[in-house]
Amino acid sequence: MIFDNYSFETFKEQSVDLIVDLVNTRNPIEDMDAITTIDGLAQFLSEHPATNDGSMGGLGRPSASDLKAVRRLRSELREVFHAADEDEAARLVNAILTNAGAVPRIAFFEKTPHLYFETDSKRLARRLAAIAGVGLVEVLVDGGVDRLGTCCSEVCVDVFVDTSKNKSRRHCSTTCSNRQNVAAHRERSRAKKKS
Ligand SMILES: [Zn+2]
């Protein structure tokens, strides 16, 4: 298989973005969920380069069972972010790849061979899982389980992949880290006034 249009780096980044965005479509704290309907799922897929460039092999419009399966995959992906250690993360990722019927393949990106995953399944969630597998394996093998983070804001449980140099990232976004900074500042001012 030849991916003419982009590099393997891009492919991996798109896979990681897809994983993070898919998990974050659900915010249990605010009871929000962007993919409760087939339309919501179709919209999500159309917004992601990893799934809107034809790589889904013309699966067509998602079905109700696709929706259910993608929501299940989303929970499985979140579990990987909550894994206690490398062993657990590896076990969870291996299960996701096995369930998807994903097999390792060599693909040529800009004439250079790379390992990625593919499934013969016509099921949308399995295709998604195979795409996600590339990003998950990349992060875990190259970066370690510490790279998989969950926002430490009290009002957010969004996940992220920590690409900082010293694995110091604690929030999903600048919105959350700013909010936390403001709260900490207020707390300090209050403590000062009391003393
Ligand atoms: Zn957050």
- Per-residue pLDDT of 21-31, as tens digits, reads 999 999 888 88
Which string of b and e fits 142-178 if b means at least 16 CB within 10 Å?
eeebebbbbbebeebbbbbbbeeeeeebebbeeebbe
Q: How far is the CA of 6 from the centre of ligand 1 (A)?
A: 30
Distance, CA 161 to ligand 1 centroid (Å)? 12
Q: Report how far ligand 1's centroid is from the alpha carbon of 29 (Å).
A: 11
DSSP single-letter state for residue 147: G
Domains of the chain, each with CATH number or no CATH: 2-144 (1.10.3300.10)
pLDDT at 3 over 80: no
Rounded distance from Cα 28 to ligand 1 centre (Å): 12
Q: Dig out the tokens for 131 from the structure.
A: 């795409």
* pLDDT at position 2: 47
Cα-to-centroid distance, 173 and ligand 1 (Å): 6
Cα–ligand 1 centroid distance for 30 (angstroms): 12
What band does 1 get if pLDDT is binned at 50, 70 and 90?
Answer: very low
129 CA → ligand 1 middle, Å: 24
| Predicted confidence band of residue 191 (pLDDT cuts 50, 70, 90) | confident
Confidence of residue 37 (pLDDT cuts 50, 70, 90): very high
For the whole model, what pTM was predicted? 0.89
pLDDT tens-digit readout, 110-144 = 888 988 899 999 999 999 999 999 999 999 998 99
Give CA–CA dist 125/133, Å, rounded: 12
Average pLDDT over residues 105-111: 87
CA of 176 to the centre of ligand 1 (A): 5
Centre of ligand 1 from the C-alpha of residue 31, in Å: 15
